Amino acid sequence: MMGLPMRKRARFIALAMALLCLTFEAVAASDVRSVRLWRAPDNTRLVFDLSGPVQHSVFQLAAPNRIVIDVKGAKLATRLDQLALANTPITGVRSAQRTADELRVVIDLAKPVSPKSFTLAPNQQYGHRLVVDLFDDAPAPSTPVASAASKPPVPVTPTQAPQKLTPVPNGKRDVVIAIDAGHGGEDPGALSPVKGQYEKHVTLAIARELQRQINAERGFRGELVRTGDYFIPLRKRTEIARKKGADLFVSIHADAAPRSSAFGASVYALSDRGATSETARWLADAENQSDLIGGVGNVSLDDKDRMLAGVLLDLSMTASMSSSLNVGNKVLSNMGRVTSLHKRRVEQAGFMVLKSPDIPSILVETGFISNPNEAKKLATVSHQQALSRSIVTGVKQFFHENPPPGTYIAYLRDSGQIAMGPREHVVSSGESLALIAQRYQVPLSTLRSTNSLKNDVIKVGQKLQIPATSLAAQP
C-alpha cells in the first residue's frame, strides 16, 4: 500500500480487509513462470508459479466439461503442453491472453470436478503461487454390501467397523497402523544437501517399507495416509487415519537444522503435563495457522517449527496421550539400536489443553536430512529397512502389551499365546503393585520377588522389572 496518502490509508485498509479477494490496483503484471501438476487419489492439483501476486477467478462450464481460470495481472511465460495428464480427468490445458494483463487458462475435462482455488505467499522454496485443486466428483457408492445380490452369506458383526474387517482367523480384526509420510507434492519438507533429495521422498520410502514390514506381521495391517507425491492438509491426514480405523498414527519425518552437524532420530508424543506459556502461544499460533499450513490459504510452508506444531496439534486432537508416550518410548528405544538418537527421551510439547483423545499418535523424525552423512544414510534401502524394523518392533511391543479389544493380537494375548520377554515398568501415579501385576499378567508374588520388594509400597517414577511370562504361566 505504498504511495497512498494517509487520509486514504485507513479507508483502504478497511476496504482491503472486507474484500480480501480484491486486488491492488497498481499491481504490475506477473509472469506465470511454470505450472506444476500433482495427482492425489481424489484430486488433481495445479500450481501456477508466479513472479508476483495476482487476482484470479475460477468457474466451471459444462458440455464440454471445462474449468476456466482467469488470472488478472498475469502473462504466460511458460508452456502448458508439457503437463503429465495421465490418470487425471484433465484432457488438455489451453490458454489465451485476453488483454495485456489478463490471462485465461482453460482446462478441458473428461468429467466434471469440484474446483477449489487459493493463492500462496512466497516461502523458502517457492515464490507467489496460485493453487487450483480439482476434486473428483464423489463416485457412486461401492461398499461391499450396497447391493442385496452381492451380500455375503455370513452376516457381518454390526459392532465391527467395515474397514476393520480383515481375513485374520476367528473373525478377529487386525491392529491397524496408519503410516503418514510427511509432506508431499509442492511441500517438499526439509531440503537435503544431497542433490535432488527431499524429505517428502525419504518419508514416503520409509513409510512404504514400514507398511511392507507391518503387513508381514500376522494380526497387523499398515495403511498409508499418503500413497504418492501430493500434498495432504494436516487435518485430512488424521481424518484419513480415522477412516481407515487406525489404532495408531505414525507420522514419518526427517529433521533439518541450520547447523549441518545436528544428527540423530527423535520421537515426539503428546504430553499431559503442563504447557509452558511459550508452548501455549505456539499452540494458539498453530491453531490459527494450521488450516493455512495445510494449504488452503495464504501462508508459507517454510516454518518447520510451525509445521511441526501443526502436526502435533492435529495429532493431539485425537491422541491418547499416555499411550502415545508409551508407544513413543518403545519406538525410540528400538530406534536407538539402529541409529543415533538426537534426544534420549521422547520429546513432548506439553499439550495439556488437548481434548478427548482416541488414536495414540507419534511423530518420528528419522534423522537429520540436513546432515550430509545422515542424508546419505536415509536414502539407502538398508537403513530405511533397519529404521522401519526398529519402529515395527516398538509398535509390536506396545500392542502386545496393550492389544485393542477384538483384535487378533488381543486374542493371542488372552489365550496366552504371546510370550513376553522381561520388561521394565516405570510407576505412574495411581498405580499399585497389584494393578501392575495384573496388567502384565504376572503373579504378584513373582513381581515382588523379582524386584526384591519387602512390601507392596511403590513410588511414582520407580522402575520395576517385569519378569518374562511363559506360555505355561498364563491362565
Q: Give me the least distance between CB of 182 and Zn ion, in Å please.
A: 4
Q: Give me the least distance between CB of 353 and Zn ion, in Å please.
A: 23
Specify the residue, 244 or 253, whose C-beta has the smaller distance to Zn ion. Answer: 253
Select from 185-193, 290-298, 315-323, 355-363 the region that touches Zn ion (CB under 5 A): 185-193
| Residue 200 is a binding residue for Zn ion (CB under 5 A) | no
Select from 115-123, 181-189, 412-420, 467-475 the region that touches Zn ion (CB under 5 A): 181-189
Q: Give me the least distance between CB of 132 and Zn ion, in Å please.
A: 25
DSSP state of 162: G
CA 398 to chain centre: 20
Specify the residue, 182 or 245, whose C-beta has the smaller distance to Zn ion. Answer: 182
Q: Classify residue 245 by burial, with Cβ atoms within 10 Å: 0-12, 13-18, 19+.
A: buried
- In this structure, what C-alpha cell is assigned to residue 446? 513373582
CA neighbours within 13 Å on the CB side: how many for 421?
4
Specify the residue, 271 or 366, whose C-beta has the smaller distance to Zn ion. Answer: 366
Specify the residue, 174 or 365, whose C-beta has the smaller distance to Zn ion. Answer: 365
Specify the residue for cell string 518420528: 364
| Residue 189 is a binding residue for Zn ion (CB under 5 A) | yes
Q: Which of 39, 173, 244, 253 binds Zn ion (CB under 5 A)?
A: 253
Specify the residue, 186 or 247, whose C-beta has the smaller distance to Zn ion. Answer: 186
Q: Give me the least distance between CB of 171 and Zn ion, in Å please.
A: 39
Q: Which of 182, 185, 350, 357 binds Zn ion (CB under 5 A)?
A: 182
Specify the residue, 184 or 189, whose C-beta has the smaller distance to Zn ion. Answer: 189
- In this structure, what C-alpha cell is assigned to residue 135? 476434486
Q: Give me the least distance between CB of 302 and Zn ion, in Å please.
A: 12
Q: Give me the least distance between CB of 87 and Zn ion, in Å please.
A: 26
| Residue 294 is a binding residue for Zn ion (CB under 5 A) | no
Interhelix angle 321-335/381-401, rounded to 10 degrees, is 140
Q: Which residues of 156-171 are buried (b: 16+ CB within 10 A; e: fewer)?
A: eeeeeeeebbbebeee
Select from 54-62, 249-257, 379-387, 436-444 the region that touches Zn ion (CB under 5 A): 249-257
Position of minimal CB gap to Zn ion: 253
Specify the residue, 182 or 222, whose C-beta has the smaller distance to Zn ion. Answer: 182
CB 127 within 8 A of CB 51: yes
Select from 96-104, 112-120, 187-195, 338-346 the region that touches Zn ion (CB under 5 A): 187-195
225 Cβ contact partners less than 8 Å away, ≥ 6 residues apart = 178, 179, 180, 181, 232, 237, 240, 241
CB 379 within 8 A of CB 367: no
- In this structure, what C-alpha cell is assigned to residue 4? 497512498
Paired strand residues for 198: 191
If we measure between CA atoms, which residue out of 136, 179, 180 comes closest to residue 40? 136
Q: Give me the least distance between CB of 200 and Zn ion, in Å please.
A: 8
d(CA 237, CA 294): 10
CA 36 to chain centre: 23
Select from 106-114, 144-152, 253-261, 405-413 the region that touches Zn ion (CB under 5 A): 253-261
Specify the residue, 128 or 253, whose C-beta has the smaller distance to Zn ion. Answer: 253
d(CA 133, CA 118): 9
Specify the residue, 107 or 178, whose C-beta has the smaller distance to Zn ion. Answer: 178
Select from 108-116, 173-181, 246-254, 271-279 the region that touches Zn ion (CB under 5 A): 246-254
The CA R_g of the chain, rounded to the nearest whole Å, is 26
The contact set with Zn ion (CB under 5 A) reads: 182, 189, 253
